[in-house]
Amino acid sequence: MVKHAALALCLDRLNAKPAPYRYIDTHAGIGAYDLEGDEAERSPEWKDGVGRVWDAERGAPQDVRNALAPWLNIIRSMNAGGLKHYPGSPFIAQRMLRETDALRLCELHEPSTVLLRDAMGRDKRVKIEQRDGFEALPAYLPPPERRGLVLIDPPFEVGTATRKADFDWMLKAARAAVKRWPQGAYMFWRPIKDLDQVAAFDAELASMLIEDGGIEPEKVLAADLWVRAIGEGKLAGAGIVIANAPFGVADHLRAALPWLCELMKQGDGAGWRLQAASAH
Ligand SMILES: C[S@@+](CC[C@H](N)C(=O)[O-])C[C@H]1O[C@@H](n2cnc3c(N)ncnc32)[C@H](O)[C@@H]1O
């Protein structure tokens, strides 16, 4: 949710300059989601997420509406008759990129890749590869356009082993990527379940981006939202680390996060933060 709103904001800002750019999604998923399908019925969490935003956004303050506009415009465009479809990251990018821009999407699993191809349709700007996005990433960088954004959004599947592995892979991929293309904008998604784990990860990631990529410390930001108290062994929320966010994105997130937090909180202990992801 924060991820998709932030992604749409970043792409909107990249669109402010005419030079072409490239969007790279290492873990693309299926493209768009049917909120009335079996999968959504089995995991109806979207009702407490985008469902609440959909119902409440017209009453939001103007600065919040401005911040959410690039994301909500896409949701509105696919839901004329009520909220039934939700755009994933590839769909958001496909809708927002211009004729001269390019999309590179990786998805490891075949059934998801089939759905992704279907969702993207015939579009000469889009190239989809069924492969490991962590391994593929260095070969995409730097992109020929020398402008753009990389989204790294692994599943962090159930089970501590997988979760730890995704953190490790993300750090490895970040180091390779930022050495090849330090000027790129990067967005790293991670779940919030254990704050110490997130803090340790952010510190390591920030050190790497700053030391290996030469990125200025104030250009490495963490944006987080949690809907319940952290530390009860349950997933409490999620957030992103953004490096080299386009100008203006941080201000929009600062406007939207408190409103989203108030709207989505599930009991005491909900919170948000937008801060420099401080290095070790
Ligand atoms: C969280 S979902 C991606 C959601 C998508 N980025 C979005 O915002 O709509 C993670 C996806 O990564 C895929 N996946 C898992 N391991 C992968 C890997 N090593 N490389 C590429 N894709 C992978 C999963 O099949 C799943 O579709």
Q: 206 C-alpha vs ligand 1 centroid, how far in Å? A: 23
Residue of 4, 46, 86, 107 to test ligand 1 pocket, by largest number of atoms within 8 Å of CB: 107
User: What burial letters (b/e) apply to 224-252, b meaning 16+ CB within 10 Å?
Assistant: bbbbbebeeeebbbbbbbbbbbbeebbeb
Number of domains in the chain: 1
Residue 188 CB-half CA count within 13 A: 31
Ligand 1 atom index nearest CA of 153: 6
Cβ < 6 A, ligand 1 pocket: 25-29, 88-89, 106-109, 112, 132-134, 153-155
The residue type at 238 = A
Residue of 2, 10, 27, 153 to test ligand 1 pocket, by largest number of atoms within 8 Å of CB: 27
Q: Which residues of the chain form beta strands (DSSP E)? A: 22-25, 32-34, 85-87, 102-106, 126-129, 148-152, 185-192, 220-226, 237-243, 271-276
pLDDT digits (tens, 9 = 90+) for 61-99: 999 999 999 999 999 999 999 999 999 999 999 999 999
The pTM (predicted TM-score) of the whole model is: 0.96
**CB–CB of 31/92 below 8 Å?**
no
**CB–CB of 174/186 below 8 Å?**
yes
Q: What is the rounded average pLDDT for all residues in the chain?
A: 93
Nearest 5°: the CA angle 263, 156, 49 is: 15
Ligand 1 atom index nearest CA of 33: 9
Which residues form the domain of 108? 2-276
Q: Which CATH number characterizes residue 71's domain?
A: 3.40.50.150
pLDDT at 166: 87
Q: Give the closest residue (by CA) to ligand 1 atom 3.
A: 29
pLDDT band (50, 70, 90) for residue 280: confident
Q: 22 C-alpha vs ligand 1 centroid, how far in Å? A: 19
pLDDT band (50, 70, 90) for residue 158: low
pLDDT band (50, 70, 90) for residue 229: very high
Q: 153 C-alpha vs ligand 1 centroid, how far in Å? A: 6
**H-type alpha helices, 97-223:** 110-120, 133-140, 160-180, 195-211
Nearest 5°: the CA angle 102, 50, 186 is: 35
Ligand 1 atom index nearest CA of 31: 9
Ligand 1 atom index nearest CA of 26: 21
pLDDT band (50, 70, 90) for residue 159: low
Q: Give the closest residue (by CA) to ligand 1 atom 13.
A: 27
pLDDT digits (tens, 9 = 90+) for 237-274: 999 999 999 999 999 999 999 999 999 999 889 999 99
Residues annotated as catalytic are 153
pLDDT at 38: 82
Phi and psi torsions of 260, nearest 5°? -60, -40
Q: 242 C-alpha vs ligand 1 centroid, how far in Å? A: 18
Burial class (CB in 10 A: 0-12, 13-18, 19+), 37: exposed
Q: Which 3 state secondary structure label does DSSP give 97? A: coil
pLDDT band (50, 70, 90) for residue 161: very low
Q: 113 C-alpha vs ligand 1 centroid, how far in Å? A: 10
